[in-house]
């Protein structure tokens, strides 16, 4: 993790027991919806990224990791996220070490991978370029080729950290409109786009 001083115990949740729920997805209580998205991220998405890293598939891991930030940013803004939303999510919930590179992480790394399958956006000049690293360090530091070393395992831990911080704020100290945004995103298309369930068949 980039921020070695971060402590997950600072983000414990306190709320009353919530009864079980059976019924329409969009009619479920707020905390059930939060839990379903949390479980999707922590039980399906993040382990998938870890499996890709462990298999030496850093490109696949990074692609899914970058998409996960889009997914989380969408819950923050309550609609399809855009570049500004992506950058704002990084700025708000990722460690300060990202600050110098946030715009380039979006425009070069995220857009480079998602739209061009390379770690540089060929349509943007004079920007930082990145080199993907499987090892845990260095991260967000220039390497010998003047590229920014980007550690996929550390990015994964920073995603986990960001989601915990976001949901803690959402549940324990929501800002104006935060719950409404989360619910708007969750309820879109009657909840069919909120999360996926893994099929074992």
- Provide the residue ranges of all domains of the chain, joining segments of one domain with +: 29-191
Segment holding 112, helix H or strand E: helix 111-116
Sheet holding 141-142, edge to edge: 130-133, 148-151, 141-142
- What pLDDT, in 10s, does the model give residues 82-113? 999 999 999 999 999 999 999 999 998 999 89
Q: CA-to-CA distance for 96 and 104, rounded, in angstroms?
A: 15
**Tens-place pLDDT, residues 160-170:** 999 999 999 99
Q: What is the pTM of this model?
A: 0.91
Greater model confidence, 137 or 81: 81
Q: How much is the average pLDDT of 46-57?
A: 95
90 CB neighbour count, 10 Å cutoff: 22
Backbone angles phi, psi at 151, to 5 degrees: -85, 115
Residue 80 has pLDDT above 80, yes or no: yes
> Average pLDDT in the 111-140 region?
82
**148-151/130-133 β-pairing:** parallel
What percentage of the chain exceeds 90 in pLDDT? 64
pLDDT over threshold 90, residue 134:
no
**pLDDT tens-place string over residues 169-197:** 999 999 999 999 999 999 998 898 888 87
Give the pLDDT score at 1. 58
User: How much is the pLDDT for 200?
Assistant: 56
Arithmetic mean of pLDDT over the chain: 90
Query: How many residues appear in the chain?
Result: 201
pLDDT at 149 over 60: yes
């Amino acid at each position: 993790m980039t921020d070695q001083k971060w402590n997950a115990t600072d983000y414990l949740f306190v709320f009353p027991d919530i009864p079980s729920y059976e019924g329409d997805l969009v009619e479920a209580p707020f905390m059930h919806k939060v839990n379903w998205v949390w479980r999707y991220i922590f039980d399906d998405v993040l382990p998938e990224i870890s499996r890709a890293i462990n298999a030496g598939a850093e490109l696949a891991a990074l692609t899914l990791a970058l998409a996960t930030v889009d997914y989380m940013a969408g819950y923050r803004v309550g609609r399809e996220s855009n570049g500004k939303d992506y950058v704002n999510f990084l700025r708000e919930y990722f460690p300060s070490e990202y600050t110098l590179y946030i715009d380039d992480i979006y425009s070069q790394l995220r857009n480079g991978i998602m739209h061009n399958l390379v770690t540089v956006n060929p349509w943007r000049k004079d920007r930082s370029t990145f080199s993907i690293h499987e090892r845990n360090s260095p991260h967000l530091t220039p390497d010998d080729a003047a590229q920014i070393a980007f550690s996929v395992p550390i990015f994964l831990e920073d995603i986990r950290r960001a989601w915990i911080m976001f949901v803690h704020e959402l549940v324990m100290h929501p800002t104006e409109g935060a719950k409404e945004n989360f619910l708007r995103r969750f309820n879109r298309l009657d909840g069919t786009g909120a999360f996926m369930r893994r099929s074992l068949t």
